[in-house]
Structure 1
Amino acid sequence: MSDKNTVLERLSKRDAQRLEKLQKAHKAREEVDASDENEEYFSGAFKIKSEYIEDMLSQIPTMDSKVLPSHFDNIKREVNELQKYVITSSFFLKEFNMRKYLGIVQNLQTKCYELEDRYVPRKKFGFTKKKLLKSNTEKQSSFDENDTAGKADSNKWDEKLFGFDSLENKVLSLDSDDLFQRDVTLRNLKNCTIALKGVMGTLHMTNLDNCIILCGPVTSSVFVEKCTNSKIVTACQQLRMHTSSKCDIYLHVTSKGIVEDCSEIRTAPYNLYYEDLDKHFNMSSLDRNINNWDRLDDFNWLAPDIPSPNWSVLDTAKRVNNWDEWWSKSPLPCNG
């Protein structure tokens, strides 16, 4: 026990030293007038901040599992702050170098998510969420916290969620200022159109029926679970789709998407457009030249030489080519 306390004390001391170093970097940043900023100063401050995050990541294998959730939250907060630092410095950074710094941030974010999946596997999707916007009738609905007994854990009300829950026949939207690097949740929606014009950290969609989701870039992962008869237009680094059916996905994904326990999934290339889309893609650091929209991995289909019957490429004649008229109307109720 004493050995364990010694290790924890040493780690705590190291963390305090790193925190002090980072605080000095933050203080130095605040003392520099924006007009005097230059890339040399930025590079030094960025190095300090990114190394601090790397140190936090390196501690994970040695930490007690009880403190890991809060530790991951702290890492994500630092990564988000670092990304904001890069973007707010864009007025003097060359575009090539800005992409380079955003790429480093993306790698730190990805490493964080991968380690969280490994060391905190029981946490639902493994991402911090913020406050969810309640519907006006949520307290009287079947999804009320007091009425969730007997329902799946994923339907429990969580005050930390951010997004939309338990709505029907609505047109819903969130803009860039609301969305920036947030973890967004869409849950228990029917016959709704959801417009998300901005850069998100992650996007979770659970129990959507006959919905249209039009969204800007997601810097990390999009999770789809228990969704049916819906059209989803999204750009992300990673797609994970579970227990869903009869959905069309207009997709930009830089790694291979994953489907599991799904059927009748159809894919097409991402073709959304809105005024700030190019700007948002640059902010997300997603590579627009890499798109694996037609290369999904089906975890229920292991035959390498035979295509999975659970998903296919959407025929060009059946694709929506222009989403302009879809932003402002909810889809008709599904007869099924």
Structure 2
Amino acid sequence: MADTNRSLIEEFYASFNASRTDIASRLEVIGTAVSKSTEILDQLAVDVSKLRKELADATSFLPSYDQRQYELQVKSFEHSLEQLRVSAAPKPKFAFKRKAATPATNQTVSDAKKPGPATADLPSTASTIASNARALSNHTGQYLTSSSLPVSSSTAGSELTISDIDHCIVDLVSNQGEGSNAITAVHVKNVKRSVLLLPSMSGSAILHDVENTVLAIGCHQFRMHTSSHVDVYLSIPSNPIIEHCTHIRFTRYPTHLATSDSTAEASSTHLSVQDFSHIRATPSPNWKPLPEEAAIAEKTWPRALLRGDDDVESVLKRLLPPI
């Protein structure tokens, strides 16, 4: 069943991206044209509708993260089409109009009391998300723990963003608890020459632009983009996905770091990696299992080392993957 889903995902990915590239190119061409052909716009609308139907048919086997990303792309095409149709519509001819009579004072007062559009009272999506998220960013050459995190305002756990980290050791394993202390999902971006020790979480881990780093994490879904020379110690019930990555090595999440029995469970599929940049029958050249002899020994992990005299830089030199 897993092989069947993987095959379907790969086929969908190849088909969707081919259509996406074609539609994006055609939208760009007609967007710069002086005259917008309604026939071309109509055909683009048909092709975008086909793309949406293709996505709808794939929801049974696509990971939820992929569904959201593809949905955003389709919506972007639909929005661009709508804008092009508006710009292509014939402009109304100019005509003089009779000046409207000045409204009565009582009518003006009445209108002023009318409520604005319903959307004016809706909370900002960005502010809502921000209130349930925490961030760890802009650190260099430091040893960071749960005490480095801002307190979450959510009572049901929170998402964490780790960004712009260089030459750091981040140990958040002891942070995982219940309620507001629990990390439910993590987004990692622009991390270089660092060690990230993260707990098991119920949500997803999404990573972008990670270089020469060690990552230990337990999660429900794992996606890594545009990263290189990363050793991943992973516990996961689904297939990890990489895209535009090179020199990635995977192995099991260390048992001594596990905060629960489920974190390092035997059913982890950490070696069932899908490389969306290598949709072929041959093995991907962009990742491989981390050899046992190259894995970090239990007594060598920085949680124990930093209790002594070792500084962050000397620890990183011993633990980071070779380049």
TM-score in terms of structure 1 length: 0.49
User: Is structure 2 residue 236 aligned with structure 1 residue 223?
Assistant: no
**8 Å Cα contact 2:255-2:264 kept in structure 1:** no
Give the paired residue count: 190
Residue 270 of structure 1 is matched in structure 2 by: 253
State the AA in 2 paired with 1:330.
V
**8 Å Cα contact 2:168-2:194 kept in structure 1:** yes
Equivalent residue in structure 1 for 2:297, among 290, 310, 321:
321
Gap runs ≥5 in structure 1: 1-109, 132-159
CA offset digits 1:104-130 (Å, max 9, x no partner): xxxxxx99867755655689xx99754
Equivalent residue in structure 2 for 1:239, among 212, 216, 222:
222
Residue 302 of structure 1 is matched in structure 2 by: 279
Instruction: Give 1:201 shift.
Output: 1.2
User: Quick one: percent identity of the two aligned structures?
Assistant: 19
What are the residue-to-residue correspondences of 1:21-100 with 2, within 5 Å?
A: none
**8 Å Cα contact 2:192-2:211 kept in structure 1:** yes
Residue 109 of structure 2 is matched in structure 1 by: none
Instruction: Give 1:321 shift.
Output: 2.4
**8 Å Cα contact 1:233-1:272 kept in structure 2:** no
Residue 292 of structure 1 is matched in structure 2 by: 269
DSSP 3-state at the match of 1:226: strand
**8 Å Cα contact 1:185-1:204 kept in structure 2:** yes
Distance in 2 (CA, whole Å) between partners of 1:213 and 1:224 is 12
Equivalent residue in structure 2 for 1:249, among 227, 232, 239:
232
Distance in 1 (CA, whole Å) between partners of 2:163 and 2:237 is 25
Distance in 2 (CA, whole Å) between partners of 1:262 and 1:114 is 17
Distance in 2 (CA, whole Å) between partners of 1:115 and 1:295 is 20
Distance in 2 (CA, whole Å) between partners of 1:114 and 1:260 is 12
State the AA in 2 paired with 1:294.
L
Residue 146 of structure 2 is matched in structure 1 by: 174
Equivalent residue in structure 2 for 1:164, among 114, 136, 142:
136
The verdict on how the C-alpha distance between 1:250 and 1:287 changes in structure 2, with shifts beyond 3 A counting, is closer
DSSP 3-state at the match of 1:317: helix
Distance in 2 (CA, whole Å) between partners of 1:178 and 1:290 is 33
User: Is structure 2 residue 211 aligned with structure 1 residue 206?
Assistant: no
Cα RMSD over matched residues? 3.6
CA offset digits 1:272-314 (Å, max 9, x no partner): 535x812xx66xxx7934211111100011122x210000001
- Of structures 1 and 2, the larger Rg is shown by 2
Distance in 1 (CA, whole Å) between partners of 2:313 and 2:139 is 13
DSSP 3-state at the match of 1:273: helix
Distance in 1 (CA, whole Å) between partners of 2:127 and 2:259 is 25
State the AA in 2 paired with 1:211.
S
Residue 14 of structure 2 is matched in structure 1 by: none
Residue 94 of structure 1 is matched in structure 2 by: none
Distance in 2 (CA, whole Å) between partners of 1:296 and 1:116 is 21
State the AA in 2 paired with 1:167.
H
State the AA in 1 paired with 2:274.
D
The verdict on how the C-alpha distance between 1:263 and 1:183 changes in structure 2, with shifts beyond 3 A counting, is same
CA offset digits 1:133-186 (Å, max 9, x no partner): xxxxxxxxxxxxxxxxxxxxxxxxxxx851211110011111799577210011
TM-score in terms of structure 2 length: 0.51
